[in-house]
Amino acid sequence: MIALDEAVLADRFGRRLACEASVSAIEWVGDVAWFACGDGAIRRADMTGDYKPLAAHQGAILTAALDPNGQSLLTGGDDGRLLRVARDGAVEEFGSFGRHWVDHIAASAQSGLIVAGVGKEAMVWKRGATKPTHRFAFASTIGGLALDAKGKRLAVTQYGGASLLYANSSDSGRLELQWGGSHLACTIAPDGDYLISAMQETGLHGWRLSDMTDLAMRGYRAKTRSFSWNRRGKWLATSGDTSAILWPFDSKTGPMGQRPLLLGASEALVSRVAFHPRQDILAIGYADGVVALHNVEDDRALEVERPGGEAISALSWRGDGSVLAWGAEDGRCGLLDIGSQPR
Amino acid sequence: MSQQKVPVTVLTGYLGAGKTTLLNRILSEEHGKKYAVIVNEFGEIGIDNDLIVDADEEVFEMNNGCICCTVRGDLIRIIEGLMKRRGQFDAIIIETTGLADPAPVAQTFFVDDDVQARASLDAIVTVVDAKHILLRLDDSHEAQEQIAFADIILLNKTDLVSPQELEEVRQRIRAINSQAKVLETVNAQAPLDQVLGQGAFDLDRILQIEPGFLSEDDHEHDDAITSISVSSDAPLDPSKFMPWLREVTATRGQDILRTKGIIAFPGEPKRFVVQGVHMLMSGDLQERRWAEGEPRTSRLVFIGRNLDHAELARDFAACAA
């Protein structure tokens, strides 16, 4: 492609990678971005050096999460396996579930727990376990999983609502939260006060956990697949419309009765969002392949990657916020070093 | 930016009708195509393919105020997941159990935007066992619905019945679904180019609507599914026809399983085509024009239950410009 338009940040401070497979997730293991891909391989890259594929799954990697030890990646695949891939490339099988897909993984450094959504069951590995310790069964297929900030309370969304339980205990009581419709991806607020789920019908449903008040956040054009809380838990950024939609959670009643903040209006749908870990800057990935940075205060924008290609499917900041990594459904990936950017 | 949509063929039919035989033929024949196959957990075994996915047949009601609007939640999830393996297969085949209702499967492709963006329903293929289908039709809703929803019916095991029995089966099938293409086979040996790549839901490929088979006098018991065909030689007024069709499918959407029509509007050289599943309708002017000298007959077919032919015919005629 000949770039006739203005330079974008990736041209000057970035590095582009071609992963040759759809990118399902990006996690940072130390200072290296690990791209988990649809061809079952992982590509590991920083600003220089090669990124040869490291074969892991026999099918597509559907989901990935940083291992509680911080030194390896957990991946779930459509080959029914959950794997742990270490820095030295060693692959260890943590579970194999036949033709059932491992669709979701949540893991916590705090609690050491790993939870995987496999069909209608949530499998749990306690700290140090390499085989599932116990499992929780549900009436329908799991749509999403989330652990709270302490890594103890587990939210599981499904058809008809969500369940909250304490993942560490195999005989945990359950709090059943009912709401008609199919609930997909979910997230628990950093302070543990709210559970928010994305609906098949589009829009969000929320529960304030102190009193089980229901919240409805509607008006999205597409399903929300990406959630990101800012560093103080004030804003929840969400995908699913032609702007990133940010809901305020700093008042006592959360987003109830409040208008959301819209950032980065575009003709394309927002497909991924990721807050910078230290500043109120939101990285936004779009369905047309664009990546941009937006300042929450004034919506000032910097274009990171120009349009062309397919939807951005993964977006992730390095822990110190100095590098942003993105990946798209067509395998176009990139890294942007904002540490070296003149201010 | 836009990716090629993956065609999806849905295979329905009772256990033992020959679904698996057909499926294995599709998978083994030399056509250079790779398929992802979605099977149900309780299906027949012995499918030989690299990429097989288990479906749970989870039917979800959409929380959008439309009572008959159900989708298959598992298919939404699976199709999305399969897209991560893009380039590794050319088409998808969904095999359903004999007890599955085809409506949520079809509706999934109309209702879910993400599925619609990535995959297109090519055709619903129903495999029917000539020997046992008449008994099935008497005792099961599903058997009737699978025929009613079909674009292609493989009338299989014709070697096991007499010519008279076969004729009776043909007539029963035609009475339920006057529009499907019926292929009579032994060992599911149908030419695959008449089963795959049909574009049955593609508005541009709806070429003709077969006139109804039954006259009103042939009316069977009330619960039976029938095809009702209405026609008009006078062009229709779109400002009358469109609201009427919306009204009919909205109020009787539960009884109307499928709708298909080719309509002539006054002064419009192109043919207007509609098709739908229950309440979900799509319609557009076709690139194909009415041919010189071709009678501009508007024709609409409903396949469903409790349909009042006389009333529908009268109301359709009243849409004339």
Span A82-140, pLDDT tens digits: 999 999 999 999 999 998 999 999 999 999 999 999 999 999 999 999 999 999 999 99
Share above pLDDT 90 across residues of chain B, in percent, rounded to a whole number: 65
Cβ-defined contact of A78 to B81 (cutoff 8 Å): yes
- CA–CA min distance B309, chain A (Å): 36
> Min CA distance, A240 vs chain B (Å)?
11
DSSP B56-79: ---EEE-SSS-TT-EEEHHHHHHH
Among residues A332, A314, A318, the alpha carbon closest in space to that of A24 is found at A314
Cβ distance of A310 and B63 shorter than 8 Å = no
Give the whole-angstrom CA distance, residue A319 versus residue A27: 10
> A203-213: per-residue pLDDT in tens?
999 999 999 99
**Domains: count for chain A:** 2
Assess if residue A68 is contained within a domain. no
Mutate to test the interface with B, among A61, A78, A225 (most CBs of B within 10 A): A78
Same domain, A228 and A165: no
In whole angstroms, give the CA distance from residue B68 to residue A154.
34
Of the candidates A181, A195, A218, A184, the residue with the CA atom closest to the CA atom of residue A149:
A195
The whole-number pLDDT of residue B48 equals 76
Question: Is ipTM beyond 0.90?
Answer: yes
Asked if residue A82 is part of any domain, the answer here is no
Give me the half-sphere count of Cα atoms (radius 13 Å) on the Cβ side of residue A18: 2
A24, A178, A182, best to mutate vs chain B, most B CBs in 10 Å:
A182
Domain boundaries of chain B, sorted by first residue: 6-201, 204-317
Q: Do B86 and A62 touch (CB under 8 A)?
A: no
Q: What type of residue is A290?
A: V
Same domain membership, residue A184 and residue A262: no
- Give the CATH number of domain B6-201: 3.40.50.300
Domain of residue A132 covers 98-218
Q: How many CB pairs under 8 A join A and B?
A: 76
Q: Which of A188, A218, A248 is the last residue of a domain?
A: A218
pLDDT at B216: 47
Q: Which residue among A21, A180, A329 sits closest to B63, beta carbon to beta carbon? A: A180
- Among residues B151, B50, B54, B48, the alpha carbon closest in space to that of B109 is found at B151
User: What is the rounded average pLDDT of the residues B2-12?
Assistant: 86
* Matching CATH number, B204-317, of 3.20.20.300, 2.60.40.10, 3.30.1220.10, 3.20.20.150: 3.30.1220.10
Coil vs helix vs strand at B294: coil
- Which amino acid belongs to residue A320? D
Q: What is the pLDDT of residues A19-74, one digit of tens each?
A: 999 999 999 999 999 999 999 999 999 999 999 999 999 999 999 999 999 999 99
One domain for residues A225 and A340: yes
Read off the pLDDT band of A2 (50, 70, 90). Answer: very low
Residue B146's closest CA among B197, B201, B96? B96
Question: In B, which residues are within 8 Å of A181 by CB distance?
Answer: 60-63
